A and B are shown apart, each in its own frame.
Chain A
């Protein structure tokens, strides 16, 4: 990535496009990522939002976005992006607007929509090779409704709808691979606590046309149960334990951007969150902890060192 303009922290944008004073929770990892993505991507955008936490950013008559915003519905934000993109293309082709008035269509949804209800619309948009950026802030549950499990919830996590001793029985859906299998233009995982990696990926996504996904793990203080001040620390641990691989799919192949040489044990990440407390108290659930560790180890065993 020698071509990037983002080499050091001081290269990152120093002004912020997203206004302050939003209704987001303190320490929201989704907001952290969104701030950074927006600053690099720029405000020549129309955000097409699906129901989720970020829906409460624009509340009449206020908006923190210096670009445009359209709330659609939980199941069809990519189709909203299709309508906006097609209409702009028509307006450009018929010369009803000049090229400099063009905008990027950006979908903004949480994991509930991106991994679940919106998959059909996402799949359609990829099939049609729609030129759009899809931002998913993945807080691993239906955050806006009180953290019920979604298909992005990790195995064993306690949520409002998986309160049992073993937590959520399912396994986090691999949305990255789901996209990659369909050969889109670009897919990347990011996290707000790794701003340089994030900025480079947004910069790249900005140059590419076609369906692009930025999948941001969004540490969620209220849903996961940790102090809002620890949001970045939790994010670092997600990367260092190998739970959240930083990778991208571009030019037909998947590249890992950061291969942790000595991965920390997953429990360093798990034990800092209330949603995994049942794995440690009243007694350690060795079997489940080992299972989670094994899955992470298995993943990295298959990753070729760069």
Chain B
């Protein structure tokens, strides 16, 4: 095992290389590009044996990925943002094909306005597709998750594609020290591609994804996907346990940081959770009994683990890096549905929206959220959902607006 500095994108590419993937259908999009550039170089110099095909769109890319997996090879691909949305029809389709492969999504905010910077609305748009979802917070976790993801996707009780998510820029382009597993050990852990009865071969006709008529076969197949998702929870524990035995790192269905004796919790996904952990340590020093709950597995949602951790807490703050327009934070809605009607759950589940389109969340804001939680616990009143946005930011934005309006007037007055 060697330790080296690598970006989240390089870590994702290493995951694919160590899993000995056969096939990478690709299409470039920022901030995912470094993944396919890295893999392209490895295919070119022979470090990887297989094939990369650059498609003309993500819609085609995901079609090719699913079709290749259905033919019997191990497939890896990656995208971001609009790319994931452009492929969304096929994201749902290939999940219905029950073909296992890994797609790394490098999260980025969605148009409009167009931005390159991250939040989680892209990956959450795939929430109900039948893709499993793993959310990472470090570059190490990105690499490890890709290996775990192949085992999970190809598990005989699961047989579904999987998204491994990392935040654009904050992880994709940040170098962190990463333990690189020994290739032989990694290969042994992942194993050979498990066809699971898939494959198109002469003399062995196979019909995949045929039409159904009437709701009864349709309901059956859709519900089978749902049950497979639920099976993935048990399978995950087993696989994560084996991963820990082999590599010494444990990645549970959730990360629980200083939650045991906590009165308060931050709940969030992705790499901003590492900032929240830092805030937790500072707050602990100041005597605030707070912890962090980070779901790693978002689909299937590990509901009983989340309940276990939330049980007996006074108040929790769900910090969403997404905004379901007309509703609010997606994770907040998910969490309240998990906690509602269960005994001894926190009475206060406060909602905060932050980190949209790459906006940072500062330590001061975590401290402020902790204060709000403590006040809410005393008053018994759930605070109104809040967008993290400062007066300073607002003033700066007003300046931009002033410039935009000024320039428009100028161009009207001075026709060329």
Contacts and interface: CB of A to CB of B under 8 A. Distances in A.
A61 B65 CA distance: 25
A191 B202 CA distance: 28
B55 A94 contact: no
B247 to A, nearest CB: 27
A82 B71 contact: no
B207 interface: yes
Contacts of A80: 63-64, 66-67
A19 B291 CA distance: 64
Interface in B76-99: 89-90, 93
Interface in B12-36: 22-23, 25
Q: How large is the interface on B (under 10, 10 to 19, 20 to 34, 35 or more residues)?
A: 35 or more
Contact of A90 (B57, B73, B90, B211): B73
B364 interface: no
Interface in B140-190: none
B202 A83 contact: no
A83 B212 contact: no
Interface stretch (A123-131, A149-157, A169-177, A207-215): A123-131
B23 A58 contact: no
B374 interface: no
A202 interface: no
Contacts of B50: 90
A10 to B, nearest CB: 29
B206 interface: yes
B100 to A, nearest CB: 13
B67 A69 contact: no
B59 interface: yes
B315 interface: no
B211 A120 contact: no
B286 interface: no
A101 B202 contact: yes
A128 B202 CA distance: 25
A36 interface: no
Contacts of B71: 46, 83-84, 87-88, 91
Interface in A75-95: 75-84, 86-91, 94
Contacts of B59: 73, 75-76, 79, 121
A68 B202 CA distance: 9
Contacts of A67: 205
Nearest to A123: B56
Given A69-B207, A69-B210, A103 B56 contact: no
Contacts of B208: 68-71
The listed residue with most A CB atoms (<10 A of its CB), out of B89, B200, B206, B217, is B200
Interface in B370-405: none
Contacts of A83: 23, 25, 63-71
A83 B69 CA distance: 8
A252 B271 CA distance: 55
A124 B210 contact: no
A13 B339 CA distance: 67
B210 to A, nearest CB: 4
6 contacts: A65-B205, A73-B63, A76-B60, A78-B60, A103-B200, A128-B53
The 10 closest A-B pairs by CB, nearest first: A83-B67, A124-B56, A79-B60, A87-B71, A83-B64, A83-B68, A87-B68, A76-B63, A79-B63, A58-B210
Given A69-B206, A103-B202, 11 more contacts: A59-B212, A60-B213, A65-B205, A65-B207, A72-B90, A75-B59, A76-B63, A79-B67, A82-B64, A86-B23, A120-B60
